[in-house]
A and B are shown apart, each in its own frame.
Chain A
Amino acid sequence: MTYALEIEGLTKTYGDGFEALKGIDLRVEQGDFFALLGPNGAGKSTTLGIVSSLVNKSAGKVKVFGHDIDTDLAAAKLGLGVVPQEFNFNQFEKVFDIVTTQAGYYGLPLRRARRSTEKYLKELGLWDKRDTPARMLSGGMKRRLMIARALVHEPGLLILDEPTAGVDIELRRSMWAFLEEMNRQGTTIILTTHYLEEAEALCRNIAIIDHGSILQNTSKRDLLKQLHRETFIMDLKAPLEGAPELAGFEARLADDGALEVEVEKGRSLNEVFDALKAQGLEVMSMRTKSNRLEELFLTMVQDNAREQQESTQ
């Protein structure tokens, strides 16, 4: 089977001796919507930088649609579109020129380049801004410009490094819808994100990376099965002075007077309500405290940090 992205034993040691990647393996199937998660400095951007030729690897193999970047780099690059974390276009150039120029770098003749530029600028709501210098765009527009630029040669694999950083909620949702549509049409998508709700909402498979090693690489469904407990916030009809004693559950008062209840995996919410009823408490509304993936992510990263600390002692 040819994977959209195949990484084997990838290592990266920077000039100052810092080991950013410690031999990671990763496979992303064609058509997948894949998230690479990890705290700052975990190795996400280094990994994507190596795949997109912006960082030189120290050792290991990287293949894009079966094309090895050591022996068949041009073919590997043709299959790849990259949306980096930082704005990396010429701020003085016009939106249309930036995207058309990128198409030219991929060898698209001018007429085809212009057609493709028009298509993606329209799809990303930037057509009205086509003659505007890039520096005049808002942050969200700049992000969309980078997506249009990455797609102009119609790659099979789109890599997005923090695509919605600094983007307001409404725009983020519209970008999600756009990416989901691209994925439905067959584009494989890999993203890194700090918004774990984004990964939970969009991705089918997830890898968690920390300190240059992959901690988990599995489907979102299997990952979420590992979650042992969830926190629910209950808004009560009558305010409480202190946290009530709920039989079999851990409960505490939140700053706004709401009640936070920890529910272990396998226990039903009916049991919680029974315990609340026994205390004479009436619940008006209920929500989860944070998204499930975020909790799992934090648990894994904290466990890994503890292990790292122990191994250095």
Chain B
Amino acid sequence: MSPSAILVAFNTILVREIRRFTRIWAQTLLPPAVTMTLYFIIFGNLIGSRIGEMGGFDYMAYIVPGLIMMAVITNSYSNVVSSFFSMKFQRSIEELLVSPVPNWVILTGYVAGGMARGLSIGVIVTMLSLAFTQLEIHHVAVTMLTVVLTSALFALGGFINAMLATKFDDISIVPTFVLTPLTYLGGVFYSIQLLPEFWQAVSMVNPILYMVNAFRYGILGVSDVNVVFALSMILVFIAILFTVALQMLKRGKGIRH
């Protein structure tokens, strides 16, 4: 395919994905907005006012970056896993497989679709948070880089999950039993400085901790981890997951007989 044809194919996948999640906005865009508003009210306003400060900021301001990241992570992941698995399930993935679209374009198209939803939710949650606290971005480049790379990483994770899944149960196992616990324990609601040393060490092996803290550094200028290390780690994971996903597509794992 010529470069212009490849660009058309990529755009087609991306537009199709955006059309999908906006068509079912009540399932995709609305729930995280409602959930995050409840977090802001309950944890930020009601409980937060009794907690006082954390990391030198009032509790509401401290949890906002974590909650934005939580929404971006879960939505980037779930968009790709549910969309790609549905295509497998309905066999409409065959539309792509018979076409000349290269595998890397299929992969980047879906990842871009997941990022489009994840980042849209990120913007929605950020706008909602402004009703509860003031946000002054400390470091714009770190903020943008962290959220974009994290979104790409979890969209890739969603793609691999969808490739491996054989039934609908399989696409909810990872989000429920892996992503949610890691996100809640990833320093969204607290600084790991509050934990005993042992649990601090345990927390350091949680990759989501690095993403949440890098993002928090971008917005508030405080972090429990080294930001350069965090960003490098995300990049390495993106490279690994991209290679794995591409190999799976090439072998046709679960989509070709």
Contact = CB atoms under 8 A, between A and B. Distances in A.
Interface of A: 14, 49, 52-56, 73-75, 77-78, 80, 82, 84, 86, 88-92, 97, 101-102, 104-110, 149
Interface string B82-100: 0000110011101111111
B92 A54 contact: no
B8 A54 contact: no
Contact of A107 (B9, B13, B91, B95): B9
B31 interface: no
A246 B8 CA distance: 71
Interface string B209-227: 0000000000000000000
A78 B92 contact: no
Contacts of A55: 256-257
A110 B5 CA distance: 11
B138 interface: no
Contacts of A84: 91, 94
A78 B88 CA distance: 22
Contacts of A78: 100
B12 interface: yes
Contact of B99 (A49, A97, A105, A110): A105
Contacts of B1: 74, 107
Given A49-B257, A105-B9, A82 B98 contact: yes
Nearest to B23: A92
A152 to B, nearest CB: 11
Given A88-B92, A107-B2, A56 B100 contact: no
Given A89-B95, A101-B95, A107 B100 contact: yes
A55 B257 CA distance: 5
A107 B102 CA distance: 11
B54 interface: no
B90 A54 contact: no
A54 B255 CA distance: 8
B16 interface: yes
A15 to B, nearest CB: 9
A259 to B, nearest CB: 49
Contacts, number: 83
Given A88-B90, A89-B92, A52 B98 contact: yes
A155 B101 CA distance: 15
Contacts of B94: 54, 82, 84, 88
B123 interface: no
A108 B11 CA distance: 11
A5 B96 CA distance: 21
Interface of B: 1-2, 4-6, 8-9, 11-13, 15-16, 19, 23, 86-87, 90-92, 94-102, 252, 256-257
Contacts of B96: 105
Contacts of A88: 90-92, 94-95
* Residue in A78, A86, A88 with the greatest tally of chain B CB atoms within 10 Å: A88
A55 B255 CA distance: 9
Contact of A14 (B91, B92, B100, B257): B257
Given A56-B252, A56-B256, A90 B87 contact: yes
27 contacts: A52-B98, A54-B97, A56-B257, A74-B100, A74-B102, A77-B98, A78-B100, A84-B94, A88-B92, A88-B95, A89-B90, A89-B92, A89-B95, A90-B86, A90-B87, A97-B16, A97-B19, A101-B95, A102-B99, A104-B8, A104-B9, A104-B12, A104-B13, A105-B100, A106-B9, A107-B9, A109-B8
A280 B230 CA distance: 100
The 3 A-B pairs at the shortest CB distance, nearest first, are namely: A107-B5, A104-B12, A105-B99
A278 B210 CA distance: 100
B11 to A, nearest CB: 7
Contact of A91 (B5, B9, B90): B90
Contacts of B13: 104-105
Contact of B98 (A14, A54, A56, A75): A54
* Residue in B6, B12, B16, B96 with the greatest tally of chain A CB atoms within 10 Å: B12
B90 A90 contact: yes
Contacts of B102: 74
Contacts of B91: 84, 86, 88
Nearest to B16: A101
Contacts of B92: 88-90
Contacts of B16: 97, 101
A102 B8 CA distance: 11
B95 A105 contact: yes
